Amino acid sequence: MKKSKLLSVCFLIVISFFVSAPVQAQIEVEPTKNFGDVPVGDYASAFLTIMNSGCEPYFITSLGINGNGDFGLKDPFSPCEIHNGEEIDIGVIFTPSVLGHATAEIAINWTNGGCGVSYVLLTGVGVEAQPAPVTIEDILSFFDASAANITIAGEGSGNSAGNKLNALRNMLVKVSYFISEGNYEDACEQLNDVYIHCDGQLNPPDFVQGPSTATLCSMVLDLMQIMGCL
């Protein structure tokens, strides 16, 4: 009888040990993935690393994103098994559609006999998109469109007006040539000549007139700033 009681006590001690023993780490994943500032309409991508640091293989059954629809998976996810010490990278993207802070949560569903889920907070900020830097090709396209729409024309009348319009365009073509050759000193000098002949000042006389002239001058100044001419 005493022996039976002793065996029962030992059995309870063993059961208690296994119940209270610490559970091995299962799926390790960073708690937060921050995409930082991203222009609205643009996107940023990042990798989310999922690691198995436990003793048994784990099967990742599915991934789901809850919350803001501007976050998503870069590629379709297929269920996969992760063995001890192995890791996988999951591509995640953030494509902000509005200005301001955005958050979502990615749920990683896994099983190794029992089921579990791990969560990662996704954050990012949609910011104002910056216009692309102006190029000499942009200026030439604007000049040609303005001339075709007669929103820019040569100063004067008759052949004189046409010659001045062509002269200013030829200056812009020279700028394009100098830039392609890497000759930025001459490109800057030529850009300055373009500017002073469309800035609305009497000295030297302008080559062009019309409502598009101010925008043309502004674009020339922007390019000069970008190139370090000023």
Dihedral sign computed on CA atoms, order 68, 70, 73, 76: positive
Distance CA 18, CA 13 (A): 9
With tokens 């102006």, the residue in question is 134
Q: Which residue, chain included where needed, has tokens 């960073």?
A: 30
Total-model pTM: 0.57
Domain layout of the chain by residue ranges? 24-127, 136-227
* Check whether domain 24-127 has CATH 2.30.29.30, yes or no: no
d(CA 167, CA 173): 10
pLDDT digit string, tens, across residues 96-121: 999 999 999 999 998 887 788 889 99
* 191 pLDDT higher than 70: yes
pLDDT for residue 33 is more than 80: yes
